[in-house]
Amino acid sequence: MAEFDIDAVMGILEREMPRYQQPVVDQMGAAAQTPFRVLIATILSLRTKDTVTAVAAPRLFAVADTPRTLSALSEERIAELIYPVGFYRNKARTIRQVCELLLERYAGTVPADLDALLAMPGVGRKTANLVMTMGHHLPGICVDTHVHRICNRWGYVQTKTPDATEFALREKLPQPYWIPINGLLVTLGQNVCHPTSPHCSTCPVAAYCARVGVTRSR
Protein backbone atom coordinates (compact mmCIF):
# COMPACT_ATOMS: atom_id res chain seq x y z
CA MET A 1 0.00 0.00 0.00
CA ALA A 2 1.25 3.49 -0.87
CA GLU A 3 2.19 5.76 2.02
CA PHE A 4 -0.76 7.80 3.28
CA ASP A 5 -0.52 11.37 1.96
CA ILE A 6 -1.28 13.28 5.14
CA ASP A 7 -0.31 16.62 3.58
CA ALA A 8 -2.84 16.26 0.77
CA VAL A 9 -5.56 15.04 3.13
CA MET A 10 -5.07 17.83 5.66
CA GLY A 11 -5.02 20.40 2.89
CA ILE A 12 -8.37 19.15 1.57
CA LEU A 13 -9.91 19.08 5.05
CA GLU A 14 -8.68 22.59 5.85
CA ARG A 15 -10.42 23.77 2.69
CA GLU A 16 -13.64 21.74 2.99
CA MET A 17 -14.47 21.45 6.70
CA PRO A 18 -15.17 25.16 7.46
CA ARG A 19 -18.49 24.85 5.62
CA TYR A 20 -19.76 22.51 8.34
CA GLN A 21 -20.74 23.36 11.92
CA GLN A 22 -17.56 23.53 14.00
CA PRO A 23 -17.03 21.70 17.32
CA VAL A 24 -18.07 23.82 20.29
CA VAL A 25 -14.62 23.85 21.95
CA ASP A 26 -13.02 24.96 18.67
CA GLN A 27 -15.54 27.79 18.53
CA MET A 28 -14.56 28.81 22.04
CA GLY A 29 -10.86 28.74 21.18
CA ALA A 30 -11.47 30.81 18.06
CA ALA A 31 -13.36 33.34 20.16
CA ALA A 32 -10.21 33.90 22.27
CA GLN A 33 -11.69 32.30 25.36
CA THR A 34 -9.51 31.82 28.42
CA PRO A 35 -7.77 28.51 29.21
CA PHE A 36 -10.12 28.24 32.19
CA ARG A 37 -13.21 28.45 29.99
CA VAL A 38 -11.77 25.87 27.61
CA LEU A 39 -11.05 23.57 30.57
CA ILE A 40 -14.54 23.85 32.05
CA ALA A 41 -16.31 23.66 28.68
CA THR A 42 -14.35 20.53 27.79
CA ILE A 43 -15.31 18.89 31.09
CA LEU A 44 -18.93 19.74 30.30
CA SER A 45 -18.64 18.35 26.77
CA LEU A 46 -17.56 14.85 27.81
CA ARG A 47 -20.28 12.36 26.83
CA THR A 48 -22.53 15.27 25.92
CA LYS A 49 -23.75 16.53 22.55
CA ASP A 50 -22.15 19.73 21.30
CA THR A 51 -25.58 21.32 20.96
CA VAL A 52 -26.12 20.87 24.72
CA THR A 53 -22.63 22.07 25.70
CA ALA A 54 -23.03 25.13 23.46
CA VAL A 55 -25.96 26.24 25.62
CA ALA A 56 -24.82 25.04 29.05
CA ALA A 57 -21.30 26.50 29.01
CA PRO A 58 -22.31 30.11 28.23
CA ARG A 59 -25.13 29.87 30.80
CA LEU A 60 -22.60 28.84 33.47
CA PHE A 61 -20.02 31.45 32.45
CA ALA A 62 -22.64 34.21 32.52
CA VAL A 63 -22.91 33.57 36.27
CA ALA A 64 -19.28 32.68 37.08
CA ASP A 65 -16.24 32.37 34.81
CA THR A 66 -13.22 32.27 37.12
CA PRO A 67 -12.06 29.64 39.60
CA ARG A 68 -12.88 31.96 42.51
CA THR A 69 -16.40 32.88 41.43
CA LEU A 70 -17.23 29.33 40.38
CA SER A 71 -15.92 27.75 43.56
CA ALA A 72 -18.16 30.14 45.51
CA LEU A 73 -21.23 28.46 43.99
CA SER A 74 -22.73 25.36 45.55
CA GLU A 75 -22.64 22.05 43.70
CA GLU A 76 -26.42 22.27 43.47
CA ARG A 77 -26.27 25.69 41.80
CA ILE A 78 -23.60 24.57 39.33
CA ALA A 79 -25.63 21.44 38.53
CA GLU A 80 -28.68 23.61 37.92
CA LEU A 81 -26.75 25.86 35.54
CA ILE A 82 -25.17 23.06 33.49
CA TYR A 83 -28.23 20.79 33.25
CA PRO A 84 -28.86 18.77 31.02
CA VAL A 85 -25.22 17.92 30.21
CA GLY A 86 -24.40 14.27 30.78
CA PHE A 87 -23.66 13.36 34.42
CA TYR A 88 -24.32 16.96 35.41
CA ARG A 89 -24.28 16.29 39.16
CA ASN A 90 -20.90 14.55 38.99
CA LYS A 91 -19.56 17.29 36.74
CA ALA A 92 -20.74 19.98 39.15
CA ARG A 93 -18.71 18.29 41.89
CA THR A 94 -15.69 17.94 39.59
CA ILE A 95 -15.84 21.58 38.52
CA ARG A 96 -15.78 22.78 42.14
CA GLN A 97 -12.86 20.46 42.91
CA VAL A 98 -10.93 21.75 39.88
CA CYS A 99 -11.57 25.36 40.87
CA GLU A 100 -10.43 24.76 44.45
CA LEU A 101 -7.27 23.03 43.23
CA LEU A 102 -6.49 25.89 40.83
CA LEU A 103 -6.83 28.37 43.68
CA GLU A 104 -4.75 26.31 46.12
CA ARG A 105 -1.88 25.34 43.80
CA TYR A 106 -1.83 27.79 40.89
CA ALA A 107 -3.19 31.09 42.22
CA GLY A 108 -6.31 30.65 40.12
CA THR A 109 -4.55 30.21 36.77
CA VAL A 110 -4.74 27.13 34.54
CA PRO A 111 -1.24 25.66 34.18
CA ALA A 112 0.23 25.30 30.71
CA ASP A 113 1.62 21.90 31.63
CA LEU A 114 0.18 18.59 30.45
CA ASP A 115 1.16 16.60 33.54
CA ALA A 116 -0.28 19.24 35.88
CA LEU A 117 -3.54 19.21 33.96
CA LEU A 118 -3.71 15.42 34.01
CA ALA A 119 -3.40 15.47 37.80
CA MET A 120 -6.69 17.37 38.09
CA PRO A 121 -10.02 15.69 38.87
CA GLY A 122 -11.93 14.64 35.77
CA VAL A 123 -9.15 15.61 33.36
CA GLY A 124 -7.95 12.98 30.91
CA ARG A 125 -5.60 13.28 27.98
CA LYS A 126 -8.29 14.61 25.62
CA THR A 127 -9.23 17.44 27.98
CA ALA A 128 -5.62 18.23 28.89
CA ASN A 129 -4.55 18.43 25.25
CA LEU A 130 -7.51 20.63 24.35
CA VAL A 131 -6.58 23.06 27.10
CA MET A 132 -2.97 23.07 25.89
CA THR A 133 -3.92 23.62 22.24
CA MET A 134 -7.13 25.68 22.30
CA GLY A 135 -6.53 27.44 25.62
CA HIS A 136 -2.79 28.04 25.68
CA HIS A 137 -2.12 27.66 21.93
CA LEU A 138 0.77 25.32 22.63
CA PRO A 139 1.68 22.08 20.78
CA GLY A 140 -0.45 19.08 21.61
CA ILE A 141 -2.60 16.47 19.90
CA CYS A 142 -6.14 16.07 21.16
CA VAL A 143 -7.49 12.63 20.28
CA ASP A 144 -11.15 11.90 20.84
CA THR A 145 -13.24 9.08 19.42
CA HIS A 146 -13.47 10.73 15.98
CA VAL A 147 -9.71 11.27 15.61
CA HIS A 148 -9.02 7.74 16.83
CA ARG A 149 -11.58 6.14 14.52
CA ILE A 150 -10.75 8.12 11.39
CA CYS A 151 -6.95 7.85 11.62
CA ASN A 152 -7.32 4.08 11.92
CA ARG A 153 -9.93 3.97 9.16
CA TRP A 154 -7.54 5.83 6.88
CA GLY A 155 -4.82 3.32 7.72
CA TYR A 156 -2.59 6.16 8.92
CA VAL A 157 -2.18 4.50 12.33
CA GLN A 158 -2.97 1.04 13.67
CA THR A 159 -3.98 1.47 17.30
CA LYS A 160 -6.57 0.17 19.74
CA THR A 161 -7.25 3.17 21.99
CA PRO A 162 -7.39 6.97 21.71
CA ASP A 163 -4.37 7.31 24.01
CA ALA A 164 -2.37 4.94 21.79
CA THR A 165 -3.47 6.98 18.76
CA GLU A 166 -2.21 10.18 20.39
CA PHE A 167 1.24 8.69 20.99
CA ALA A 168 1.37 7.23 17.46
CA LEU A 169 0.45 10.62 15.99
CA ARG A 170 3.12 12.34 18.09
CA GLU A 171 5.64 10.08 16.34
CA LYS A 172 4.53 10.60 12.73
CA LEU A 173 2.11 13.54 12.33
CA PRO A 174 3.90 16.71 11.13
CA GLN A 175 3.74 19.26 13.94
CA PRO A 176 1.89 21.93 11.93
CA TYR A 177 -1.12 19.58 11.99
CA TRP A 178 -1.04 18.81 15.72
CA ILE A 179 -3.47 21.53 16.78
CA PRO A 180 -5.88 21.54 13.80
CA ILE A 181 -6.30 17.76 13.42
CA ASN A 182 -8.83 17.48 16.24
CA GLY A 183 -11.22 20.14 14.98
CA LEU A 184 -10.97 18.92 11.39
CA LEU A 185 -11.54 15.25 12.19
CA VAL A 186 -14.30 15.92 14.71
CA THR A 187 -16.08 17.94 12.02
CA LEU A 188 -15.49 15.19 9.45
CA GLY A 189 -16.63 12.52 11.89
CA GLN A 190 -19.79 14.34 12.94
CA ASN A 191 -20.88 15.16 9.40
CA VAL A 192 -19.40 12.58 7.00
CA CYS A 193 -17.25 9.81 8.47
CA HIS A 194 -19.77 8.32 10.88
CA PRO A 195 -18.91 5.30 13.05
CA THR A 196 -21.31 3.10 11.09
CA SER A 197 -22.29 3.59 7.45
CA PRO A 198 -20.04 6.59 6.69
CA HIS A 199 -20.88 8.83 3.73
CA CYS A 200 -17.95 7.64 1.62
CA SER A 201 -19.67 8.77 -1.59
CA THR A 202 -19.47 12.41 -0.53
CA CYS A 203 -16.27 12.33 1.55
CA PRO A 204 -13.72 14.85 0.24
CA VAL A 205 -10.80 12.55 1.14
CA ALA A 206 -12.33 9.21 0.09
CA ALA A 207 -9.66 8.69 -2.57
CA TYR A 208 -6.97 8.53 0.14
CA CYS A 209 -8.85 6.34 2.63
CA ALA A 210 -8.08 2.63 3.09
CA ARG A 211 -11.56 2.19 4.65
CA VAL A 212 -10.16 -0.12 7.31
CA GLY A 213 -13.05 -1.83 9.09
CA VAL A 214 -15.75 -0.25 6.91
CA THR A 215 -18.34 -2.88 6.00
CA ARG A 216 -21.22 -0.60 5.05
CA SER A 217 -21.22 2.91 3.62
CA ARG A 218 -23.38 5.40 1.78
* CA-based torsion, 194, 195, 198, 202: positive or negative: positive
Cβ-proximal residues to 10 (8 Å cutoff; 6+ apart), any chain? 177, 180, 181, 184
| Within this chain, domains 6-22+141-208 and 24-135 share the same CATH topology | no
Q: How many Å separate Cα 156 from the centre of its chain?
A: 20
The fraction of the chain above a pLDDT of 70, given in percent, is 95
In the predicted model, what is the mean pLDDT of the chain? 93
Model pLDDT, residue 33: 78
Q: Which residues are catalytic?
A: 126, 144
Q: Choose between 32 and 163: higher pLDDT.
A: 163
- CA 117/CA 40 separation, integer angstroms: 12
* Residue ranges covered by each domain of the chain: 6-22+141-208, 24-135
Query: How is the chain split among helix, strand and coil, in percent rounded to 5?
Result: 60, 0, 40
User: Which CATH number describes the domain made up of 24-135?
Assistant: 1.10.340.30
- Give residue-wise pLDDT tens across range 167-205: 999 999 999 999 999 999 999 999 999 999 999 999 999
CATH of 6-22+141-208 among 1.10.1670.10, 3.40.50.720, 3.40.190.10, 1.50.10.20: 1.10.1670.10
Asked whether the beta carbons of 25 and 45 are under 8 A apart, the reply is: yes
